[in-house]
Chain A
């Protein structure tokens, strides 16, 4: 049996606080100086990892709905997407404030020399309109275009992967894991789309 209105509210609040945990743990790590020899890197990579993880979770919800036939996963889609944006913002913030120490000089020198940083910035820019139009109000106002716009998340998933692949020195294990997950999640969508189109034409 599915939970009622109150039940869902409780579950949502629980998921919300669980999603904040990585943030809490990393901040605690900074305060207690537990982030190792290169705390900025730990913080920076930590936020980046979680941005990618929430992006994957967000992308998994529609396929779960398709496969199980249950509609409840969609209730969490906005929250997961916004958490991906939240962690991506922190990832960028650590880069600008701590890694570059807010130095425009350093930004001008380091960013153009780094294709992977440029790809990261592009990914963030792709996420901004998605977060900005995540409210119910915006959804209504944009009508059918809203869904089209939100599909930018597929592109963001791919640019995030490229960002990760380009920064790695030689061991591609981690980005390969994310690439596999994202390929499956986008692959299911393609399969569903193909089947629908095929059905449409056979009618």
Chain B
């Protein structure tokens, strides 16, 4: 197999490293001081569980967003619609033991322990840009494995046209689920070819360590060419189905959030432009960057949608 590295991002679009890092200098220094560990320039910890994970294909050579920013600014409505509150509330979630139910059009349905899934799927690190539908982005060194590799092991039948993912439903811990902000549990889905695409990842860690609760521990999806809400967190169920699943945000506002949700600067959200994005961690005087179609992964995924009107199937 040809191993490709992403390089089609212009250097002019990358935040100047000096600018990028100056804001975090103080925090970084404080972290080194308090934790007594050295941080490499990309800002990730080398002492974590996944410190020696190999770099996988498609990993972007981009300046990584500070871990502090990525772990304190999370959209996790199961806990709170406030990005800061959700990071704190998510601490209450217990992620071991964890199992995933596999169901639907598949030869090997069942309940799988996460540990067993991880035994079968060796992890790698991949740095991807993550673009939220709210017009901000960050660059994260995810740790996980290709979703397709895992799905193949369950032997989906020919009837399986879509994959549906479900988040844990536990209003006792996930206090945001007590409100009707979304129709719980959170459900997301992919077309089979999207799910099998080598860019699509199942993620269990980031920054050389385990996934923090607020970032979707213990198991989340990452689909780098789609808006962040597709990348469902704390997955407990994977179902192979024949018809397109009804997904959480689409259900809440069908005119605003489509099933495909491919990053596309040409198709604006009904209430705001998607042409630009605020890069987290950059200085307050840094202009927003121009959003790329398919979040910069057009060469890899545009062919999946070649016969589709992306304005209609947003």
Contact = CB atoms under 8 A, between A and B. Distances in A.
Given A30-B284, A98-B285, A110-B276, A115 B271 contact: yes
A109 B265 CA distance: 11
A174 to B, nearest CB: 9
B250 interface: no
B113 interface: no
| Interface residue tally on B, bucketed by range | 35 or more
A109 B275 CA distance: 8
B35 to A, nearest CB: 19
A40 B278 contact: yes
Interface in B219-274: 249, 252-253, 268, 271-273
Interface stretch (B42-50, B69-77, B159-167, B191-199): B69-77
Given A36-B72, A106-B288, A171-B77, A113 B268 contact: yes
B84 interface: yes
A103 interface: yes
B73 A37 contact: yes
Interface residues of A, number: 27
Contacts of A135: none
Contacts of A54: none
Nearest to B279: A38
A110 B272 CA distance: 7
Contacts of A170: 77, 81, 181-182, 249, 252-253
B287 interface: yes
A23 interface: no
Contacts of B33: none
25 contacts: A33-B23, A36-B72, A36-B73, A36-B84, A37-B72, A37-B138, A38-B280, A40-B278, A43-B284, A98-B284, A99-B288, A101-B286, A101-B288, A103-B287, A106-B287, A110-B272, A113-B268, A113-B271, A169-B81, A170-B77, A170-B81, A170-B181, A170-B249, A171-B179, A171-B181
Given A38-B278, A169-B134, 15 more contacts: A33-B23, A37-B69, A37-B73, A37-B138, A41-B136, A43-B284, A101-B287, A106-B275, A106-B288, A109-B273, A109-B276, A114-B273, A169-B81, A170-B182, A171-B81
Interface of A: 30, 33, 36-41, 43, 98-99, 101, 103, 106, 109-110, 113-117, 166-167, 169-171, 173
Interface of B: 23, 26-27, 68-70, 72-73, 77, 81, 83-84, 134, 136, 138, 179, 181-182, 249, 252-253, 268, 271-273, 275-276, 278, 280-281, 284-288
